[in-house]
Chain A
Amino acid sequence: MKIGVFIPELLRHLFKKPATVDYPFQKLEVPKDFRGSPYLRPELCIVCRACERDCPAEAIEITAINEAEKRFRMVIHNDRCIHCAQCVDSCPTEAMLMDTRFEISDYDRHNLKMEWEYIRAVVKPKSEPKTS
C-alpha cells in the first residue's frame, strides 16, 4: 500500500488555470440548441392551440379578443414555464421558438409574463404537428 497517492495530483493543481470563469463579468456561451424561454412569431401563428394543449405546465394561454376580426391574444406565463420546448415541437408552422437567454429572474413573477396580440395568420402548415 502506497502512502499519499493523491499528493502529485494536488501539487499539479497549484499550477493549473482555474476551471471556472468570472461569471457576472465574463459569460459562457450557451450551446446552439439551448432551451431558453419560448417566444411567438405572431405572423406565423394559425391559432391551432397545439402548444396550449401540450404544455405540461399550462403556461400558454390563448384567448380570442374578437372572433369576427380573428384577433387573438397569447400570453406565455414564464413564471410557470418549465423550459421543456414541447410547444416548439408541437407547433405545425414554426411560430413558437426558444431564445437563448438564461438570466431571466425577476423580483415580481408578473413581470415575467409575455403577451402578443395579433390577427390569425393564414399560413399553411408545412407538416403535421409531430405529436398530435
Chain B
Amino acid sequence: MKFQIPIGPQHPALKEPISLRMTVEGEIIRDADIRLGYNHRGLEKLAEQKTWIQNIYLTERICGICSHSHTTCYVQGVEKLMELEPPKRGLYIRTLVAELERVHSHLLWLGVAGHEAGFDSFFMYTWRDREIVMDILEIITGNRVHYGINTIGGVRRDLDEQQIKHILDSLSVLRQRSEYYKHLGTNEPSFVARLAGVGYLSREDAIALCAVGPTLRASGVPMDVRKDDPYAVYDEVPFEVCTAETGDVLGRTVVRIKELFQCYNIIEYLLKNLPSGPVAVRAPRRAKPNEVVSRYEAPRGENIHYIKSNGTDKPERLKVRAPTLGNYAATIKMLKNGFIADVPLIFAAIDPCICCAERAVSLVDARTGQEKIIVMNDLKRLSRRLSAGNIRKREAEWPL
C-alpha cells in the first residue's frame, strides 16, 4: 500500500519554505516530488527598474550566505558588458573575500550536518569557529553578512598591513580547528554511521542530472568552475579540486572539509602575493546593448547570471540560476529508496537555499498534474470564455 506524505511548506525540519511530497511504502520512499514557489520575491523584475550600481546591492540580497557569490557573478557580467578591466589588486581582494565566504559557508554547513545527524555539540563548535571568519569579514568590509565589497570595476575597500596580519593569525587558529573537525568527522563512529550510505548518488546520475558543487564532486566528478573556466585570479592561484568517491552524505562532508583546507591555502597565497596598485577603476553609468553570461563557483555550486543591456543605465534582463536549483533533480534521485528519517539529512546535504532558487512560477493542473506556463492573453481568453454565457448581475454587491 502506498501513501503520500507531504513535508513542508512549513515544517520543523526545513529552514525555508519548500514542499516535498513523498510516496512511501512503509518507511521507504518510492517517489518524491519537489514543489517550489513559496518564496518567490520578484527580484528579477525589480532588477530591471534599478541602475547598474543599485543592482549590486539587490543581487547581494538574493542570499545571505552566498551574498558575495551573487554580487561577484553579477559584477563580472557587468564588467564584461562595459568592457572594463579591474586592477589586479582589486581582483585579489575580491577573490580573498570569496574564499573567506566559502570558509564560513562550509563551516556553517558542517554545523548543519552535525545538527541534522543529532550531533549538536559539533554544530555549536563549528558555528563558534565560524565567528572568527565573520569577524575577519567585518574588519575587511564593515559588515558581517552583506559585505558590499564589490563595485563595478573593482572593490570598494583596500586592505592594510594590520588587517593582513590579523587574517593570517586567525587563519592558523582556523586551520588547527579544521584539522580537529577532519579527525572527528572521519573517526567519531556514531557520526560516521549516521552519514555513510545515506542519499547515494552515482557518478553517472550526478552527471545526467546536472548536479553542481560539492554534491557533484562527492560523486567523483572533478568539476569546478574555478578550474574549468577560471575567473578573477583563479588561473594564477594553485589549488586542487576536492572530490570523494562514496557519493553519499559522508562524501559530501569529506569534500567540504577538504575544500576548507584548500581555501586556507588560497587565502594564504592571496595575502602573501597581494600586488600593489589601485583597487578599482571608474565605471561608466551606461552599458552598450549586449548580453552576457557570467559563471561563478559559489560554495554550494555553480552560479549563473545572464545579463542583457539595452544601452541605458538599467539592465533589460537579469536572470539568476542559483546552485540549489541545479541540485533539485539530483535530490529527488537521492531521496528515492531511502528512509523518511533521512529526508532532512539528504536535503540539508545539498545545502539548500530556497530564497536563492525561487525564480520562476508555473501553473499546475490539479486534475492531470500537467504543468504549463500561461501567458496573459490566454488568461484573458479563458476569463472571457467563462463570463460569455453568464447573465450580468446588474446590482451586484461588494462582498465586504
Contact = CB atoms under 8 A, between A and B. Distances in A.
A88 B148 CA distance: 13
A5 B56 CA distance: 45
A124 B208 CA distance: 61
A83 B53 contact: no
Contact of A83 (B50, B143, B151): B143
A35 B142 contact: yes
Contacts of B151: 89, 130-131
Interface in A40-84: 53-57, 82-84
B117 to A, nearest CB: 13
B139 A31 contact: yes
Nearest to B56: A56
B53 A31 contact: no
Contact of A132 (B122, B138, B285): B285
Nearest to A90: B53
Given A54-B53, A84-B146, A5 B58 contact: no
B121 interface: yes
Given A56-B54, A85-B148, A89-B151, A1 B189 contact: yes
A37 interface: no
Interface string B171-193: 00000000010011001110010
B187 A84 contact: no
Given A5-B184, A6-B184, A9-B180, A89 B282 contact: no
Contacts of B192: 1
Contacts, number: 74
A132 B52 CA distance: 11
Interface in A4-50: 5-6, 9-10, 19, 30-35
Contacts of A6: 121-122, 184, 188
A85 B151 CA distance: 12
A86 B58 CA distance: 12
A122 interface: no
A35 B143 contact: yes
Contacts of A32: 139
Interface in A80-111: 82-86, 89, 98
Interface string B17-61: 000000000000000000000000000000000110111111001
Contacts of A131: 53, 151-152, 282-283
A45 B51 CA distance: 23
Interface in B109-150: 121-122, 125, 128, 131, 138-139, 141-143, 146, 148
Interface string B56-76: 111001000000000000000
Nearest to A129: B282
Interface size class of B (residues with CB under 8 A): 35 or more
A56 B50 contact: yes
Contact of B142 (A85, A128, A132): A85
Most buried by B among A9, A32, A130: A130
A26 B189 CA distance: 41
A34 B138 contact: yes
B121 A128 contact: no
B156 interface: yes
Contact of A31 (B131, B142, B283): B142
A56 B58 contact: yes
A90 to B, nearest CB: 8
A10 B143 contact: no
Given A1-B187, A3-B189, A5-B187, A35 B148 contact: yes
Contacts of B58: 56
A86 B282 contact: no
Given A31-B138, A56-B58, A86 B53 contact: yes
B157 interface: yes
Contacts of A2: 187, 189
- Which 9 residue pairs are nearest across A and B when measured between Cβ atoms? A56-B57, A56-B54, A35-B142, A33-B142, A31-B139, A5-B187, A84-B148, A84-B57, A1-B189
24 contacts: A1-B187, A2-B189, A5-B188, A6-B121, A6-B188, A9-B125, A19-B128, A19-B131, A32-B139, A34-B138, A35-B142, A35-B148, A54-B51, A54-B54, A55-B54, A56-B50, A56-B55, A82-B61, A85-B156, A86-B148, A89-B151, A131-B282, A131-B283, A132-B285
Interface of B: 50-51, 53-58, 61, 121-122, 125, 128, 131, 138-139, 141-143, 146, 148, 151-152, 156-157, 180, 183-184, 187-189, 192, 280, 282-283, 285
Interface of A: 1-3, 5-6, 9-10, 19, 30-35, 53-57, 82-86, 89, 98, 128, 130-132
Given A19-B131, A31-B142, A128-B282, 12 more contacts: A1-B189, A2-B187, A3-B189, A5-B187, A6-B122, A19-B128, A33-B142, A34-B142, A55-B54, A98-B142, A130-B280, A130-B282
